[in-house]
């Protein structure tokens, strides 16, 4: 399906464009940019329940905002984990006290969040959690390690999936805890340097870190249910904004192919057309999924996994195509490089290297196929150790 845009929606689009043109000046610090978005009411669109968000917006208008933000080449968001993952989870599973405490600072861009899910040795097997949380009076003491924790070095809080029931196995005995990151000596964040030279991901070590009892979302032992609910929000409106970025990258690859003469090769032309067609298909699929989504809907139980499989492989193929159309020049960086200094990458080189992780982070392709097989196709469950 395609969304229909009313005159009100088009007026909203014009308002978004005008604000972005006025405020996108220079390269503002990420945290200050979040506060600027909060002051203008652009965080928490559609959080009408309880009045925790900044402004009323329909689903269509949320799509408009996400796409126009991407088209404007606005700064990467530091607050998207809190806004797009934790906030809808609290609205669905949190207590009124938790909503009142945590949603307003997110909407103001004042508190940033990270996600404590993946662990060493478990990878995308979310039920393989070994991080433990032991009740100690009014708090839990959290001990263990998380890995591939995006933006943990900037975060004020972390939502952590931890085992609160000793000797429990798999998805039983887990709880969803809200843990403050400012605990020197109890929480250590170590950035992971990637082959792109950047360090968005981190290792996080918890050594008796405190989490207050009232900061357990959904109740003790209900962490698996809450965590699964959160994953359902992970690939919503933001998927369409992501595809706007993909389209811009594809356009850059196409221009490069023309300038280098690679587009004269019929095989390359076929690959370029295929990338364009597949991107359009992903958009229709995302619109269909958003149009049919609703609380309690089970018709698209595997839709997030299908979307992840589609865009992860697509983006990797685009990175490979970017290197193909560059030819030998793809192996040379934009600046001289010395072993003792950070190296620079141009946008297409960064695309190629970073996209190698697309089929791993956020749930590997193998995990996504297992979800589709078991929850959608009803095939026998994979034996667990």
Q: Is the dihedral of CA 368, 301, 125, 178 positive or negative?
A: positive
Angle made by CA atoms 37, 43, 49, in degrees to the nearest 5 = 150
Tell me whether residue 220 is one of the annotated catalytic residues: no
Which pairs with CB-CB distance under 8 Å and at least 24 residues apart come from 187-196? 189/149, 189/152, 189/153, 191/153, 192/147, 192/148, 194/353, 194/354, 194/357, 195/353, 195/356, 196/345, 196/350, 196/353, 196/354
Specify the residue for token string 């369409």: 240
- Which of 68, 83, 154, 234 is the catalytic position? 234
d(CA 291, CA 46) in angstroms, rounded, equals 16
Residues acting as catalytic residues: 234
């Amino acid at each position: 399906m395609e969304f229909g845009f009313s005159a009100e929606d088009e007026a909203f689009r014009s308002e978004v464009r005008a604000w972005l043109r006025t405020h996108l000046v220079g390269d503002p610090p990420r945290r200050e940019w979040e506060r600027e978005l909060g002051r203008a009411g652009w965080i928490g669109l559609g959080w009408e329940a309880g009045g925790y968000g900044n402004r009323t917006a329909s689903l269509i208008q949320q799509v408009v905002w996400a796409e126009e933000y991407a088209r404007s080449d606005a700064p990467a968001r530091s607050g998207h984990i809190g806004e797009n993952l934790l906030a809808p989870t609290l609205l669905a599973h949190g207590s009124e006290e938790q909503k009142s405490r945590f949603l307003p600072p997110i909407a103001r861009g004042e508190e940033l969040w990270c996600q404590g899910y993946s662990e060493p040795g478990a990878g995308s097997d979310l039920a393989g959690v070994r991080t433990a949380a032991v009740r100690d009076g009014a708090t839990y003491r959290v001990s263990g390690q998380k890995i591939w924790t995006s933006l943990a070095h900037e975060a004020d809080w972390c939502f952590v999936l931890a085992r609160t029931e000793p000797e429990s196995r798999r998805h039983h005995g887990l709880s969803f805890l809200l843990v403050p990151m400012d605990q020197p000596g109890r929480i250590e964040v170590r950035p992971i340097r990637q082959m792109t030279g950047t360090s968005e991901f981190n290792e996080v070590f918890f050594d008796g870190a405190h989490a207050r009892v009232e900061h357990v979302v959904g109740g003790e032992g209900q962490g698996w249910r809450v965590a699964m609910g959160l994953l359902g929000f992970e690939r919503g409106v933001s998927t369409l904004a992501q595809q706007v970025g993909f389209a811009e990258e594809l356009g850059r690859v196409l221009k490069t192919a023309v300038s280098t003469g690679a587009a004269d090769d019929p095989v390359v032309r076929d690959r370029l057309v295929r990338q364009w067609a597949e991107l359009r298909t992903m958009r229709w699929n995302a619109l269909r999924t958003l149009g049919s989504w609703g609380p309690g809907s089970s018709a698209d139980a595997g839709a997030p996994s299908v979307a992840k499989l589609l865009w992860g492989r697509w983006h990797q193929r685009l990175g490979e195509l970017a290197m193909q159309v560059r030819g030998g020049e793809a192996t040379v960086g934009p600046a001289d490089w010395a072993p003792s200094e950070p190296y620079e990458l141009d946008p297409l080189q960064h695309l190629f290297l970073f996209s190698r992780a697309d089929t791993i982070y956020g749930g590997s392709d193998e995990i996504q196929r297992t979800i589709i097989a078991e929850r959608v196709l009803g095939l026998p469950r994979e034996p667990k150790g």
